[in-house]
A and B are shown apart, each in its own frame.
Chain A
Amino acid sequence: MALESLTAVEVAPLTMLTMAEKVWADHIVHQGDGEPDLLYIDLHLIHEVTSPQAFDGLRTAGRPVRRPDLTVATEDHNIPTIDVDKPIADPVSRIQVETLRKNCDEFGVRLYPLGDIEQGIVHVVGPQMGLTQPGMTIVCGDSHTSTHGAFGALAFGIGTSEVEHVLATQTLPLKPFKTMAINIDGELPAGVTAKDIILAVISKIGTGGGQGYVLEYRGSAIQSLSMEGRMTICNMSIEAGARAGMVAPDQTTFEYIKGRPHAPEGQDWDDAVVYWESLTTDPGAQFDAEVHIDAATLSPYVTWGTNPGQGLPLSSVVPDPAQAHSGEERMAIEQALAYMDLTPGTPLRDIRVDTVFLGSCTNGRIEDLRAAASVLRGKHIASGVRLLVVPGSTRVRLQAESEGLHQIFLDAGAEWRGAGCSMCLAMNPDKLAPGERSASTSNRNFEGRQGPGGRTHLVSPEVAAATAIIGTLSAPADLEVAS
């Protein structure tokens, strides 16, 4: 008897896999010595910016789109958020959008154009339609494709050559990623959001800390989040340099998917759930790296510099380059402070902003709008501050309007816009003027990201709303103190 049980123990550990490894293994089309694995892609999302040259490549080579039924396009990056019923004013943007329409028509790809009820930011649209499901491989020519990992999908951004590759073959040659567990255990203090968690994670591991890894966010603080909170976290995995972020699918995931337009039904639903439940990381599986964060130590986070790793608790002060750990870090801090026009030692709460941007694939979903509206209800934004509210999709906009949220924003003095990427990357007319400073719920505080010469502080929707009211970087708790 003793001998038998010993044998069983020796055999079992060989099959222990992480979630990312399971999804990877389930999509291998071909493996060869010294070659990358050829992986099958379950869903390919397309938008106007990174696709025109890919379709051109297909045309030149005389290749069709292999699986138009697994390919979905929408218009988001450079479309306007006002006057959406009129032709796009910027001729260059208009040509790019028209090119997408022509390409989708020619190659038989389903497109949700401006004016369609399903239009929106590609990473808001996929989950909303039920196209994003656990265990899938999902790609898009956009680095924030990592968003879809919130469902336990392996989802990552690709370049235009790879867009062409997937259009032609529905596969991608890839080298396996390493795996990193980001364990966030404990109870989140009141007022701490998913955005604060991910800003804290990126500050801890740095913009290159996740390089080569798929991050799996684990622990009780992650399990307690809604799907939208999980999407906010996975969305910014790329800002830590990671290719993808994932959260294990659970009851919260299944409830979110059930009943959506592309959710499985009947026997397919039952089969799908059995499969989805099998995807979670096996107990005892080894990650290549592990990070632990105690949720109870977190507080509202904001960035002070020019990359998303340059973040600190709102209660902190602007850092001093003299305290840097290396010459390279000192140079990076000095360059960031010069661009941001900040002085070491300044309390972050003293930083005054001109613009507040609420939106993006990070924080442009209905729960984000509800959170900001609950702070803004019955209040008005500070004089000299502009608040731009841009829903992540047309359906989010309509949902917000049905709940009366738009009226709260308008009464507070905000601009209420149509859906799109907008000021997150300033490809459309929504941008900062040179020298202007924003508090933004988006994902990147790079130099000029929100307009040439613009300065960006990344914040949560709650902090964005409080900042709009007070005029300096603030959390909702500061409003209670003020009143």
Chain B
Amino acid sequence: MESFVTHTGTAAPLRRSNVDTDQIIPAEYLKRITRHGFEDALFASWRNDPEFVLNLPQYQGVSVLVAGSDFGTGSSREHAVWALQDFGFKAVLSSRFADIFRGNSGKGGLLAAQISQEDIEFIWGVIETNPQIPVTIDLEAKTVSVGDFTCEFEVDDYVRWRLLRGLDDIGLTMQHQSDIDLYESARPSFKPSVR
């Protein structure tokens, strides 16, 4: 996995709360068997609307999404993370993320950075007034900066450590192979199996 240390790019305001993963990528697009190529599926139904924020000329080329609270609720589909990344997003800011979405983001290298709703609304105002203003996300310092404004964001320490180094979870777990063997040898015989 590619490491994430800092990122600077322009940002789009998504003024909606409870953006569920069915909105991020409708189920119809989940039939694909690849891990890439989901950029056309991102927010597919909203993108039919010419006024949708990602269709506006001033928000072309954005790489940071600034969303309302409870982003990524619903289905566990990791395709939601892939679609955001394929579209070009490196980070999503929200005042609250759904657990599974946040976990999936960490696995795939998309930064889900949690800041207060007050800060979200302030940044919405700034990027609506000046869509070209760069937004910088510093994972080492855990800060988001826009112009003169800087705020701290919350991210899980372990996820941060992995993202900063670009580490693969399965490889880390494989280091505990002997612990897994030991645990398995002591499992009770009443636990079900399909053999």
Partner of B99, one of A61, A93, A212, A271: A212
* Contact yes or no, A335 B192, CB < 8 A: no
Q: Assuming the A-B contacts A49-B31, A70-B193, A264-B190, are A159 and B104 also in contact, with contact meaning beta carbons closer than 8 angstroms in the complex? A: yes
* Contact yes or no, B23 A446, CB < 8 A: yes
* Contact yes or no, B100 A157, CB < 8 A: yes
Q: How many residues of A contact B (CB 8 A)?
A: 85
Q: Any chain B CB within 8 A of the CB of A398? A: no
What residues of chain B lie closer than 8 Å to A68, measured between beta carbons?
195
Binds A, one of B4-12, B53-61, B139-147, B169-177: B169-177
What residues of chain B lie closer than 8 Å to A321, measured between beta carbons?
none
* Contact yes or no, A449 B22, CB < 8 A: yes
**Roughly how many angstroms separate A68 CA and B194 CA in the complex, as a whole number?**
8
Query: Which residues of chain A (38-94) have a CB below 8 Å from chain B?
Result: 38, 40, 42-43, 49-50, 52-53, 56, 61, 63, 66, 68-72, 77-78, 90, 92-93
Query: Which residues of chain B (19-45) have a CB below 8 Å from chain A?
Result: 20, 22-23, 26-28, 30-35, 45
Partner of B190, one of A71, A158, A271, A425: A271
Per-position 1/0 for A424-459, Cβ under 8 A of B: 011100000000000000001011110011000000
* Contact yes or no, A159 B193, CB < 8 A: no
B99, B103, B172: most-surrounded residue (chain A CB, <10 A): B99
Q: Assuming the A-B contacts A40-B183, A444-B74, are A61 and B170 also in contact, with contact meaning beta carbons closer than 8 angstroms in the complex? A: yes
Q: Any chain B CB within 8 A of the CB of A130? A: yes
List residues of B whose CB falls within 8 A of some A CB. Answer: 15-18, 20, 22-23, 26-28, 30-35, 45, 68-70, 73-79, 81, 96, 98-100, 103-104, 107-108, 117, 156-158, 161, 169-170, 172-174, 176, 179-180, 183-184, 187-195
Q: Any chain B CB within 8 A of the CB of A272? A: yes
* Contact yes or no, B192 A207, CB < 8 A: no
* Contact yes or no, B193 A158, CB < 8 A: no
Binds B, one of A135-143, A295-303, A466-474: A135-143
Instruction: Give me 10 A-to-B residue pairs in the complex whose CB atoms sit less than 8 angstroms apart, sorted by A's number.
Output: A29-B176, A29-B180, A42-B191, A63-B170, A160-B78, A160-B104, A211-B70, A264-B190, A448-B45, A452-B28
Q: Any chain B CB within 8 A of the CB of A165? A: yes
Q: Assuming the A-B contacts A143-B74, A159-B77, are A211 and B45 also in contact, with contact meaning beta carbons closer than 8 angstroms in the complex? A: no
**Given A29-B176, A70-B193, A309-B18, 10 more contacts at CB 8 Å?**
A42-B192, A49-B77, A93-B31, A141-B78, A157-B76, A168-B174, A169-B174, A328-B117, A447-B22, A449-B27
* Contact yes or no, B173 A241, CB < 8 A: no
Query: Which residues of chain A (1-56) have a CB below 8 Å from chain B?
Result: 29-30, 34-36, 38, 40, 42-43, 49-50, 52-53, 56
Q: Assuming the A-B contacts A29-B183, A241-B99, are A38 and B192 also in contact, with contact meaning beta carbons closer than 8 angstroms in the complex? A: no
* Contact yes or no, A158 B100, CB < 8 A: yes
Instruction: Name which residue of chain A comes closest to B156, CB basis.
Output: A175
Q: Any chain B CB within 8 A of the CB of A281? A: no
**Roughly how many angstroms separate A29 CA and B175 CA in the complex, as a whole number?**
12
* Contact yes or no, A208 B70, CB < 8 A: yes
List residues of A whose CB falls within 8 A of some B CB. Answer: 29-30, 34-36, 38, 40, 42-43, 49-50, 52-53, 56, 61, 63, 66, 68-72, 77-78, 90, 92-93, 95-96, 99, 110, 130-131, 133, 136, 141-143, 157-162, 164-165, 168-171, 173, 175, 207-208, 211-212, 238-239, 241, 243, 262-264, 268-269, 271-272, 275, 306-307, 309, 328, 331-332, 335, 425-427, 444, 446-449, 452-453
* Contact yes or no, A141 B76, CB < 8 A: yes
* Contact yes or no, B191 A271, CB < 8 A: no
What residues of chain A lie closer than 8 Å to B15, measured between beta carbons?
331
What residues of chain A lie closer than 8 Å to B30, measured between beta carbons?
49-50, 77-78, 427
* Contact yes or no, A168 B26, CB < 8 A: no
What residues of chain A lie closer than 8 Å to B74, measured between beta carbons?
143, 238-239, 444, 446
* Contact yes or no, B17 A328, CB < 8 A: yes
* Contact yes or no, A35 B27, CB < 8 A: no
**Roughly how many angstroms separate A77 CA and B161 CA in the complex, as a whole number?**
35
Q: Assuming the A-B contacts A269-B190, A272-B190, are A56 and B22 also in contact, with contact meaning beta carbons closer than 8 angstroms in the complex? A: no
* Contact yes or no, B33 A99, CB < 8 A: yes
Least CB distance from B39 to A in Å reads 16
Q: Assuming the A-B contacts A30-B176, A141-B76, A241-B73, are A159 and B103 also in contact, with contact meaning beta carbons closer than 8 angstroms in the complex? A: yes
Partner of A162, one of B68, B103, B189, B193: B103
Least CB distance from A39 to B in Å reads 10
* Contact yes or no, B28 A427, CB < 8 A: yes
**Roughly how many angstroms separate A136 CA and B188 CA in the complex, as a whole number?**
11
Q: Assuming the A-B contacts A49-B31, A307-B18, A449-B22, are A208 and B96 also in contact, with contact meaning beta carbons closer than 8 angstroms in the complex? A: yes
Partner of B31, one of A78, A143, A275, A335: A78
Least CB distance from B69 to A in Å reads 7
**Roughly how many angstroms separate A63 CA and B70 CA in the complex, as a whole number?**
36
Least CB distance from B70 to A in Å reads 4
**Roughly how many angstroms separate A181 CA and B81 CA in the complex, as a whole number?**
31
Instruction: Name which residue of chain B comes closest to A309, CB basis.
Output: B18
What residues of chain B lie closer than 8 Å to A29, measured between beta carbons?
176, 179-180, 183
